[in-house]
Chain A
């Protein structure tokens, strides 16, 4: 069965950096685009970024563009997001999620989600 396990969350000061990881299993990781989605405490969902199945393109929400960088290692089946210049508004649970479409070049919808990792940006 599909499993996505995030790690790397924690408390970081404003302006700091953090790298999140997501270990995938139970599906052909290298054939599917992947997403990061975040959820501020008690709030709704915000799409953060998407990376193509082959890692050749990434797409970002305006709120993180230029600060966050998504990447993937298809051999290790791990997804990453490097988050820099962190702000208080980046606080929340970060979920990695699998895109539905096999070989999709653009984001569609998310058919499996991990349990998330909490990022807290605070001084």
Chain B
């Protein structure tokens, strides 16, 4: 099983500042990685797929980069509505999720 490790577990960022979230795979997943956003009490929402392609409706301040085992989701200018938990998921070998990163406003 491919283990996905996200860091940090929680992140506190001032409005308008950059937030950088990391996701590491225990073995290469190519670019078969997606990011989801989950707000309290809601289902996850697809944010980025193929490591770097924004899903429909994802604001341009969200950008995904990486390949192989190292991936990053960057929120270029944090807005209050971005407070959520972000999960990465690989689909190169079945499906496994990372543990999530909680993003809060400082």
Q: Which residues of A contact B (CB under 8 A)?
A: 35, 44-47, 50, 59, 95, 100, 107-116
- Which residues of chain A are near B96, meaning CB under 8 Å? 47
User: Tally of A-B residue pairs with Cβ under 8 A?
Assistant: 48
**Contact, CB under 8 Å: A107 / B46:** no
Residues of A within 8 A of B71 (CB): none
Query: Which residues does B use to contact A, with CB under 8 Å?
Result: 32, 34, 36, 42-46, 49, 55, 87, 89, 91, 94-100
B94 touches A47 (CB 8 A): yes
Roughly how many angstroms separate A37 CA and B5 CA in the complex, as a whole number?
A: 18
A59/B94 contact (C-beta < 8 A), A100-B49, A111-B55, A115-B43 known: yes
Closest B-chain residue to A115, C-beta based?
B43
| A44-B87, A109-B34 known; A116 vs B97 contact (CB < 8 Å) | no
Instruction: Determine the residue in chain B with the shortest Cβ distance to A93.
Output: B43
CB distance from A32 to the nearest CB of B (A): 14
Cα distance, A23 to B74, chains bound together (Å): 35
CA distance A111 to B44 in the complex (A): 9
Hey, which chain B residues are within 8 Å of A44, CB to CB? 87, 97-100
A residues in contact with B46, CB < 8 Å:
109-112
Q: Please, how many angstroms separate the alpha-carbon atoms of A113 and B43 in the complex?
A: 6
Measured CB to CB, the closest approach of chain B to A92, in angstroms, equals 13
Chain B residues contacting A59 (CB-CB under 8 Å) are 94
The residues of B that contact A110 with a CB separation of less than 8 Å are 36, 44, 46, 89
Task: Report which of B89, B98, B99 forms a contact with A109, defined as CB distance below 8 A.
Answer: B89
Q: Contacts A44-B100, A46-B97, A110-B36 given; 12 further ones with Cβ under 8 A?
A: A44-B87, A45-B44, A47-B94, A47-B97, A50-B95, A59-B94, A95-B44, A107-B94, A108-B91, A109-B89, A110-B89, A113-B43
